[in-house]
Structure 1
């Protein structure tokens, strides 16, 4: 498969370029709004050429798919342009700034018969796949509650617009809460119904929240407590799921790398759960490539991206209004 990178991003350089090449993919070109930066990025990563013109990239002979990792406010227009050009799309989360924009992206790709995927990396981790399988197998019985603790310290090289540019989609809610929403949906196979939340800003940045806590109600009656932050250097991260027959404890698994520990606790005691430690992004790209070939579906498709954004937007609105907010899924 021949790819174009829309965005000369850190996530592409650290994770996705390697994942594409691991599947035998070729990266033809990279788009950057800064021509000098784009040229340097292409040279450093062995990419054939750089451009600052989206139509130029999309017109590249033989181009099959694009990976979009620009700032959040650009995803919508860039994805629609790629879809109109007949290209399959793997897009970073959140898909867009608004629910209507995200829904338009997913529906446009569906109408065009193209694969449209959201790069929710966590559901590709062996640890999270194991948790989903334990829940599906009934190992903890009926799920009563879940707790997600995803308060981290955003490293300096990733701060920038994420902590000070609301117009670009900054803030911890679109950056991390959206991932946790997808992860809970992945485990439980159901969508949050209503959320309450409180958010705050510690002064790390300006104009956006850098910490949020929320509680979600699920159709099954389970309750979810979620905590995301950019400002916690020593908190650790993980998930807990508690059911009528047992509990699952995951530590250090809310990460881009195949790390962490997983335990199942039930009436017979505590049991370490082994899980595969494959590369998360390699699995995501592999499933995307298979879907393009007509075999299966992406790890997270456009609807998954719409729904995770819907939860994140509801959390932000609940924090703003200090009221319970029902989650709007734009008809999906």
Structure 2
């Protein structure tokens, strides 16, 4: 990969004074101890989602990074998508009126190279809920500025992976502001399309093909003036996230998604 330095032990990497920050992209059960080690070494941290296997561990990670004075960010990359940034601005502008319902469809076919621990190792935090639903909880918070306070959900295994691990989940929820929502997660529907709908008393937003890793997808606004497509300026979602973490490490505001945001989504 042309990377000038590589390490096979975490402690060796953390001992390197030239390392300023670490992206923790290991399996979920390892996040807790590795983030604590980074914080103890004074390194800024971008941690993959979900932050940890439990709320207690995630809270521990947030406290450790605060005590160490390092930036702690969560890699909820979807909030860096041009479609979601545009939708958030429209919601904040009031053009939709009072929000009534939000719907998130997230999932298709889990790629073959990812059909490993995500579907066969419960100890690593496998399953559609830990892999996908945390993204949806975060994007709901990001788009609406509201907190989910009540949830009812069902899950099932429909044939992918170990029978103890869900590959499909549906949830309905209520936010503190009274918005109702629906989340749909699935690992094994190859012709599914990611989407988000937000319906208000004065308008509706429709995003399509927006729940992946690629900078693509569309957003349409429907209101009294008809249906029109919103112009988007797509950019790599991970580049935007990393840029925000680097800026935060320089003292220039907060990362696009903080550790506290990651705790909330978990």
1:9-20 correspondence runs (5 A): none
Q: Using the alignment, how far apart are the partners of 1:50 and 1:292 within structure 2?
A: 22
Give CA-to-partner distance per residue, 1:204-241, whole Å, 9 cap, x none: 10021100000010111110100001011001111000
Match of 1:259 among 197, 200, 216: 216
Task: Verify: 1:69 aligned to 2:25, yes or no.
Answer: yes
In structure 1, what is the equivalent of residue 148 of structure 2? Answer: 192
What secondary structure, in the 3-state scheme, does the structure 1 residue paired with 2:6 have? strand
CA RMSD of aligned residues (A): 0.8
Greater relative contact order (Cα < 8 A, sep 6+): 2
1:109-120 correspondence runs (5 A): 109-120=65-76
Q: Using the alignment, how far apart are the partners of 1:48 and 1:276 within structure 2?
A: 33
Task: Verify: 1:231 aligned to 2:188, yes or no.
Answer: yes
Q: Using the alignment, how far apart are the partners of 2:182 and 2:175 within structure 1?
A: 11
1:1-332 correspondence runs (5 A): 45-206=1-162, 207-309=164-266
Q: TM-score, normalised by structure 2?
A: 0.98
Gaps in structure 2 of 5+ consecutive residues: none
What secondary structure, in the 3-state scheme, does the structure 1 residue paired with 2:221 have? strand
Moved more, 95-104 or 52-61: 52-61
What secondary structure, in the 3-state scheme, does the structure 1 residue paired with 2:227 have? strand
1:139, distance to aligned residue in structure 2 (A): 1.1
What secondary structure, in the 3-state scheme, does the structure 2 residue paired with 1:149 have? strand
What secondary structure, in the 3-state scheme, does the structure 2 residue paired with 1:51 have? coil
1:116, distance to aligned residue in structure 2 (A): 0.4
Give CA-to-partner distance per residue, 1:286-331, whole Å, 9 cap, x none: 111110000111000000000001xxxxxxxxxxxxxxxxxxxxxx
Runs of 4+ in 1 over 4 A off after TM superposition: none
Q: TM-score, normalised by structure 1?
A: 0.79
